[in-house]
Every structure is written in structure tokens, then in C-alpha cells.
A and B are shown apart, each in its own frame.
Chain A
């Protein structure tokens, strides 16, 4: 790998400093690289907000920056990018990533980059991972940075690469070339009902996230992000995950009945707390709107979505995570039991239980078609484009990317426990909370 020093050699110091630091243009110029730009795709939700604005902080907010170039990897009948380019003539569509970054010139000509590699038709490997080309896009971005002797902040939607080595390389490259890199899910920045942040001096004994939705690779990642954005504040800071085990099907129900981590399950009070924080718990008592299910009833509620190509969600699904510092955590995906994402943790010294609901305004929970859970995510990215600094550490998403892959691996290896020495990711969160609280 070429070192930063080599790349930067011969470039005037002023330019080097200007790299990805703020202040050069009044309105940062943004390139958007998306796998797909169609209705309901992440590309649409995110880029539309940069182009047309969104409700934020009690006003309609128009990002103080311009999307000037767009690359779309897969253009299908349902594509909206051509339409958008007509509506926003300052945004040009380019046939390659390099050209969208140089805008047809010979060096980097944008000040921020959106890398949205979610949705689209990409192959799946034998482990069930969709091989979204995030790393491949990233490599092409970095090639332009190197050739230009200048970088710019990059936002990578959802996980980094599906492959650990590549994900790690993305983070290392950003560090080496000194450009801001941010990534992740919209869950860490969502409203929390109630407001909750783990106090920085709190030891966490055991934590739990319950969610629902599609599949270990896709929704497992969201769940790990939900977990990680909470527990990363615990005493001692994050030191990574030592081992992980995925459990599916009937074994999840055995774990449900086990009653404690040591017996192969989890702290049942954490489970109850998560279900009690839900805004949409499936009622088991006929004629009642809101009831608490018994352990016997729960298996009957969790149903996989089955299509012609087989079960789609692989649920029930549990991920048992053993952290390097001894903390234990369980992520449960239980489609049919409840909607949305909830968190609970047992703290030590003094012992107490904390819990919250990550409120994403989706349909069925009080939200609408505009999917406003994208708004805090976009706002955080905007901040990075303006300041040149990641709004929250990319190491969180490096770890969750690795946890997602380890979870998929464990499933592939017949639900065996996998040691994860590679996930010794150490980082500290920002001192200030970064979830949606006022705006």
C-alpha cells in the first residue's frame, strides 16, 4: 500500500491542509454514488434529502451544499435518477465513479461523497451475504484521492464492506490519507423514547436489543448498530468483541426458556424490558389491544416471511455476543412479535436496569412514506461535510460490520460459536450524545 507520505509528497502544504478540512467553498459540492436510485431505496431517501431538503428542527431545512454529480450503478425501469437530474440541473450524472468525482476533469472536484451501496441486484455468497460493492466503490474513490493529492469526507451508508478485511482496509485507508469517514445505520441517531445514554462510568453486565425485519446480513447489522451505539459508552470504553454465536429456529426458543446467559439464554428481565418499550407489541389475547405474551405464546407469534424462493428472514434469530471486557449481549430478531427496535441493559454499581425504544418514524409506528428516520442520519452527514470531521466514530461501524460478518459465519458454520480476535476494535464515542434529541 502506498503511504500517505508518498502520496502527498510534492504537494504544497497548504493544499494538504485543505484536504478535507472545512471552509474552502461556501457550499460544499457533493458527489453521490448509489447502487440504485428508485423509490424506497436508501439512495432515494438520502440523496432526495440533500437535493430537496427535509423537515428538521421545526423548519424545512435545505442542506447548505449542492449535490453536483451522481453515479448510479444499476439503472432499471424504476430508476428515478434521470428524472431527478432533469429537476436539479446542477446535478450531472456521470458514467463512472471517477468521473463523478472529477466531474469530467482530471482531479477531485467535489468536497464530500455519499457512498450508498444498499439495494440493487447483487450476487449473494454461499453464506447469504449480499455482495454490495461498497469496498469496490471506496477503492475507486481512493484512487481519485490519491491521483488528486486531496481527499474529501466520505459517508458510507450501512455497513462497510461485507468482508472484514475490506472493511478494515477502508477505515485504515481513511486514517492513512486523513479524510473523514463515517458510516452506519439510522438507528443510532434516532429519537430515543425515553432519552437514554449509558453513563460513561457505568459498568454494563448484560445488554439486549430486540428488532425485527429481514435477515442476518441486512437487519442483523441494524441490530448490532443499535446495541453498539448504547454500550460503547460503558466504563473502560469499547475494546471489541471476543466471540459471537448465532442461533436460529427452535434453539432460540430453548434460549428463551433458559432464563440466564449462563444457561445459554439471557437475563429475562432484559427481554421483558425490551418488549415493554415496544410501541407495537403483537397482542396475544383476543379482543385486547395490548397484552404481554407468555413464553409459550411467543414462538407462535414469530413467523418468517416465506416467498417462492423460501424463507426470507431466517427468524427467529439470536446473536450471542461476548465482549472482550466480559460484557455479554444478545441481539434478537423476532419478526412478528413486535415492530421497531428496543434496547435494555443491566448496569452494575449500583445495579439497575435501563431501557429505551429507538423511535424510527416508519409506517405502522406513526411515521409516513417520507421515512423521516433518514433525516438525523442525513443531518449528521451534512455536519461532517461542513466540519471535515466524522460526526461519530466510524470504528463503531467497523465493529458492527465485523459482528455482522461473524454472525453470518456462525450461522453458516451450523450455529457454532466463533472466536473473533480480529474484532478487538478499540474506540471512544464522542463525549456529546449524537442521537436525535431536539431537532
Chain B
């Protein structure tokens, strides 16, 4: 199967690397701004789907879109960007602006994919450069905007800039990783207007991206609550043995931890050896298993409290639980991340990105990324300050999410 396209050239200038773009008539043109294009990178999991297609419902679907230009931040030995550019006929440009203008003098694409996160390769950090600022400048200078997908902001300042730019220049943004979009077991979204008292998300992984996606998924869940999102009042990081003491004193809910862990399908510890299901959270066995326990405690402005617990060593999946007022059953689910090589959790994300570029409407409010990035900044800062409770006036932010669910199978 050849990915080469035999269509006329439309690029206006020769890129530094790769061939000038070849596009199909009528196909939307995509620019990709990536930290890198290597195994395990977001580019490999998301951008590749726009080159060779992906399974969409019953069919192997090839989006009517052509990647026409790429800016890539790093090209380590395992770099694949050059090979992709050669095979699929797009140019790699030395700057974000040139990428968006395909070497010309005007914005020359119909959509931008920013793949700046760390992905599954924890040996490599996120993008070293701010890919956002120069993109916004092109939008401003060329007086034209296009829909933007953005996997992960580098921090609050960047997330805020993105939200403000999208409001000001009126371009749609879909921000987020595949975790909030993937299959849920069971397919749970809290009903819009739920009165959420407390929420808890269990995550795994040690990288920045792992924490970020845990936080954005927590936010994706709770932003649907009654009154809409009104922001976060304070954030506190707790690590080590103090994590368990914080649970005992009610800083996070042990009931919700039990519910979340009960959604896990991959218990670690003794279960790995003997295959027996265990009541890890209820039996008190859990703390013994967790390597470097960490919890991020979040107090929201409207009184709701939430926690993200990183439980490496105890479970192998992401799970969520929430207690709603006047509902006796705790709501809980697992965010299914099928492993590589397919990383099938990103299939639905690809479909949402494609829809965004086709329709100009995002199923997700970018404010979610603002809150998640802001909590992450303070989580790290609080950790560095020995677990100090940090007030977060910068996270006083109101928004209402779209009512329609956007995860896989919803």
C-alpha cells in the first residue's frame, strides 16, 4: 500500500526538508506542530491516523484531509518525521509561522494539530518551545483563524493564552489527550447538573503528561456538575505516607477510593502472582503496594472537593468515582486505555479532531485545559513547598461544558 499521493503541487515555496505538499482537490489541509515524531509520541498516535486512516465505526476511514506541513521540535535518532514527509508528501518547515503558511505569506491550512505533549515516552519531555504563541501571531497577522487541536499545554500561562486567543480571535479549540475520550467501563458521564459532592480519580504513571491527563479527565467528569464550572480555590500536594493520613482525616474520600479501585481490571501486587481478585482498597493492603504515593487535593470554589491519587504499583489503570448528593450509589468507571501497539484509546480522539476541523465546532471547552494546567502547576509547586495549601485565584474561571458527551461509544 503506498501513501504517496499523485495530486498536483500546491505549495508556494520549497520547504527545508521533504517535498512540497501534494494535496487532493477538496481535501482540508492540515499543519502539524509536534514536539517530535517518534515511537510513543503523540504524533505517532494521533497524526499518523490522518496519514493512513483509522477505524471509525465499521470502516477503515481515511479523513478527507491532507497533512501539508510540519514543524517538529526535536529529531532524535528514532525520528520518523523525515520519512513521513517523504512518504506522504509534505514539507517540514523551520518555524511555526512558515509551517502554517506552507512557506508562503498567508495562513495556508484549514486546521492545526499541536502535538506537544510527552506521550508514552517518558524519556523525552514535552515540547521545548512555545508552539502556541507563534501560531496565534500568524492568526492575528493574517486575519484568519482555523480550528486547532492541542494535546497538552506546557503550563497555566500557555493554557490561558490559548483560551484567551480562541475567545478573542474566535477559533475553535479541542484540547486534551485521549483519556477523557476513550471507552469508559461502564460508559458513564455524570448527568448534566449533577450535584457532585466529592470526586476522585486514580491515575498511574510518573510523567508530567500522566498527571496532566489525570487532571483533565477529572475535570472532564466534574465540569458537568450543577451550577457549571466556577473554578478552583486551592490546591495541595501530599506525598509519601502522608497520603494515607490525609485519607484517614477525610481530606480525600476512602469510600471513593474503594469505588474507583473496584473499577480496576489490573490489580498489581499478589494478584499478579496468583490471579486472585482482591479488595485492595478495603483490606488496607493498598498502601503497602504503592510506590511513591501522591495525591493532589483540589478544593473547588463551589465547595466540591476532588482528589487525584497516583497509585503506581497498586493498579495498572485509570479509574474515577464521585459521590452525588441525594444519590446513594457512588458513580464510578474505568477509563480504558488499551495498550500499544494500536493505542486504540486514541481512535475516538482522532474522530473528534476530524469532526472539529470539518465542522469548526469543538465538543470540549478549552477552559478545561486551563483548569487542568493550572492545578498541575500548583500541584508541582505545592510539592516543592512541602505540601503547602496554595490558594489559586488564577483558577477562578466560569464555563459551561457542552451537554453532549464526547467519549467513545457515548
B interface secondary structure, majority = loop
Of A354, A364, A375, which is within 8 A of B339 by CB? A364
Of A52, A294, A367, which is within 8 A of B266 by CB? A367
Known contacts A55-B262, A193-B409, A361-B265; A288/B48 CB under 8 A: yes
- Contact: A191 with B185, CB < 8 Å? yes
Report the separation of the CA atoms of residues A368 and B329 in the bound assembly, to the nearest whole angstrom. Answer: 26
Interface flag for B258 (CB, 8 Å): yes
Which of A42-50, A66-74, A124-132, A422-430 is the contact stretch? Answer: A42-50
- Contact: B52 with A39, CB < 8 Å? no
Question: From residue A439, how far is it (CB to closest CB) to chain B in Å?
Answer: 7
- Contact: A58 with B277, CB < 8 Å? no
- Contact: B58 with A355, CB < 8 Å? yes
Known contacts A59-B259, A287-B83; A277/B55 CB under 8 A: yes
Report the separation of the CA atoms of residues A371 and B271 in the bound assembly, to the nearest whole angstrom. Answer: 10
Interface flag for B143 (CB, 8 Å): no
Which of A278-286, A394-402, A408-416 is the contact stretch? Answer: A278-286
Question: From residue B199, how far is it (CB to closest CB) to chain A in Å?
Answer: 14
- Contact: A370 with B271, CB < 8 Å? yes
Question: From residue B410, how far is it (CB to closest CB) to chain A in Å?
Answer: 9
Please tell me the number of chain B residues within 8 Å of chain A, measured between CB atoms.
60
Of B60, B186, B338, which is within 8 A of A366 by CB? B338
Q: Which residues of B contact A280 (CB under 8 A)?
A: 338, 342, 344
- Contact: A48 with B60, CB < 8 Å? no
B 260-295 binary contact with A (CB < 8 Å = 1; else 0): 011111111001111111110110000000000000
Interface flag for A122 (CB, 8 Å): no
Which of A11-19, A157-165, A254-262, A268-276 is the contact stretch? Answer: A268-276
Known contacts A60-B279, A289-B44, A439-B186; A279/B271 CB under 8 A: no
Report the separation of the CA atoms of residues A99 and B52 in the bound assembly, to the nearest whole angstrom. Answer: 63
Chain A: CB-nearest residue to B343 = A289
Known contacts A272-B59, A370-B271, A438-B186; A283/B341 CB under 8 A: yes
Interface flag for B53 (CB, 8 Å): yes
- Contact: B275 with A369, CB < 8 Å? yes
Question: From residue A203, how far is it (CB to closest CB) to chain B in Å?
Answer: 18
Q: In chain B between 246 and 268, which residues have their CB closer than 8 angstroms to a CB of chain A?
A: 258-259, 261-268
Q: Which residues of A contact B362 (CB under 8 A)?
A: none
B 377-403 binary contact with A (CB < 8 Å = 1; else 0): 000000000000000000000000000
Report the separation of the CA atoms of residues A370 and B316 in the bound assembly, to the nearest whole angstrom. Answer: 12
Q: Which residues of B contact A283 (CB under 8 A)?
A: 341-342
Q: In chain A between 330 and 351, which residues have their CB closer than 8 angstroms to a CB of chain B?
A: 344
Question: From residue A173, how far is it (CB to closest CB) to chain B in Å?
Answer: 33
Interface flag for B367 (CB, 8 Å): no
Of A52, A55, A193, which is within 8 A of B263 by CB? A55
Q: Which residues of A contact B274 (CB under 8 A)?
A: 39, 369
Of B59, B341, B408, which is within 8 A of A290 by CB? B341
Known contacts A289-B44, A370-B267, A438-B186; A39/B275 CB under 8 A: yes
Specify which of A40, A56, A355, A368 lies most central, judged by the most chain B CB atoms within 10 Å of its CB: A368
Q: Which residues of B contact A285 (CB under 8 A)?
A: 1, 52
- Contact: A53 with B187, CB < 8 Å? no
Chain B: CB-nearest residue to A284 = B1
Interface flag for B324 (CB, 8 Å): no
Report the separation of the CA atoms of residues A359 and B401 in the bound assembly, to the nearest whole angstrom. Answer: 30
- Contact: B341 with A272, CB < 8 Å? no
Interface flag for B45 (CB, 8 Å): yes
Question: From residue A352, how far is it (CB to closest CB) to chain B in Å?
Answer: 10
Interface flag for A292 (CB, 8 Å): yes
- Contact: A48 with B58, CB < 8 Å? no
Chain B: CB-nearest residue to A277 = B55
Known contacts A193-B408, A368-B266; A292/B258 CB under 8 A: no
- Contact: A290 with B265, CB < 8 Å? no
- Contact: A58 with B259, CB < 8 Å? yes
Of B258, B337, B342, B347, which is within 8 A of A59 by CB? B258
Report the separation of the CA atoms of residues A292 and B329 in the bound assembly, to the nearest whole angstrom. Answer: 42
- Contact: B272 with A368, CB < 8 Å? yes
Q: Which residues of A contact B266 (CB under 8 A)?
A: 361, 366-370
Report the separation of the CA atoms of residues A226 and B323 in the bound assembly, to the nearest whole angstrom. Answer: 36
Q: In chain A between 280 and 323, which residues have their CB closer than 8 angstroms to a CB of chain B?
A: 280-281, 283, 285, 287-292, 294
Q: Which residues of B contact A60 (CB under 8 A)?
A: 258, 262, 279, 281-282
- Contact: B1 with A58, CB < 8 Å? no
Report the separation of the CA atoms of residues A290 and B187 in the bound assembly, to the nearest whole angstrom. Answer: 24
- Contact: A367 with B265, CB < 8 Å? yes
Question: From residue A341, how far is it (CB to closest CB) to chain B in Å?
Answer: 14
Q: Which residues of B contact A353 (CB under 8 A)?
A: 58
Of A48, A59, A364, which is within 8 A of B262 by CB? A59
Report the separation of the CA atoms of residues A294 and B56 in the bound assembly, to the nearest whole angstrom. Answer: 17
Chain B: CB-nearest residue to A368 = B266
Interface flag for A175 (CB, 8 Å): no
Of A355, A364, A371, A372, which is within 8 A of B57 by CB? A355
Known contacts A53-B279, A367-B265, A370-B265; A287/B49 CB under 8 A: no
B 331-349 binary contact with A (CB < 8 Å = 1; else 0): 1100011111111100100
Of A45, A55, A58, A290, which is within 8 A of B342 by CB? A290
- Contact: A58 with B330, CB < 8 Å? yes
Q: Which residues of B contact A354 (CB under 8 A)?
A: 58
Interface flag for A224 (CB, 8 Å): no
- Contact: A279 with B275, CB < 8 Å? no
Chain A: CB-nearest residue to B80 = A287
Q: Which residues of A contact B185 (CB under 8 A)?
A: 191, 359
Report the separation of the CA atoms of residues A402 and B49 in the bound assembly, to the nearest whole angstrom. Answer: 43
- Contact: A52 with B338, CB < 8 Å? no
Interface flag for A383 (CB, 8 Å): no
Q: In chain B between 44 and 87, which residues have their CB closer than 8 angstroms to a CB of chain A?
A: 44-45, 48-49, 52-60, 80, 83
Report the separation of the CA atoms of residues A56 and B262 in the bound assembly, to the nearest whole angstrom. Answer: 7
Q: Which residues of A contact B259 (CB under 8 A)?
A: 58-59
Interface flag for A54 (CB, 8 Å): yes
Interface flag for A437 (CB, 8 Å): yes
Report the separation of the CA atoms of residues A347 and B262 in the bound assembly, to the nearest whole angstrom. Answer: 38
Of B45, B54, B59, B277, which is within 8 A of A273 by CB? B59
Specify which of A52, A281, A289, A436 lies most central, judged by the most chain B CB atoms within 10 Å of its CB: A289
Question: From residue B15, how far is it (CB to closest CB) to chain A in Å?
Answer: 21
Interface flag for B183 (CB, 8 Å): yes
Report the separation of the CA atoms of residues A193 and B281 in the bound assembly, to the nearest whole angstrom. Answer: 28
Known contacts A49-B277, A55-B277, A193-B409; A369/B272 CB under 8 A: yes
Report the separation of the CA atoms of residues A287 and B40 in the bound assembly, to the nearest whole angstrom. Answer: 11
Shortest Cβ-Cβ A-B pairs, 10 listed: A368-B266, A276-B55, A58-B332, A361-B265, A60-B279, A194-B409, A273-B58, A54-B277, A292-B60, A279-B338
Q: A368-B265, A368-B267 are in contact. List 8 more A-B contacts (CB 8 A).
A: A60-B262, A269-B59, A272-B60, A275-B60, A361-B266, A368-B264, A369-B271, A371-B275
23 sample A-B contacts, Cβ–Cβ < 8 Å, listed by A number:
A45-B275, A53-B277, A55-B263, A58-B262, A58-B331, A193-B409, A194-B408, A275-B55, A278-B342, A287-B80, A289-B48, A290-B55, A290-B342, A290-B344, A292-B52, A292-B53, A353-B58, A359-B183, A361-B266, A366-B317, A370-B266, A372-B277, A436-B186
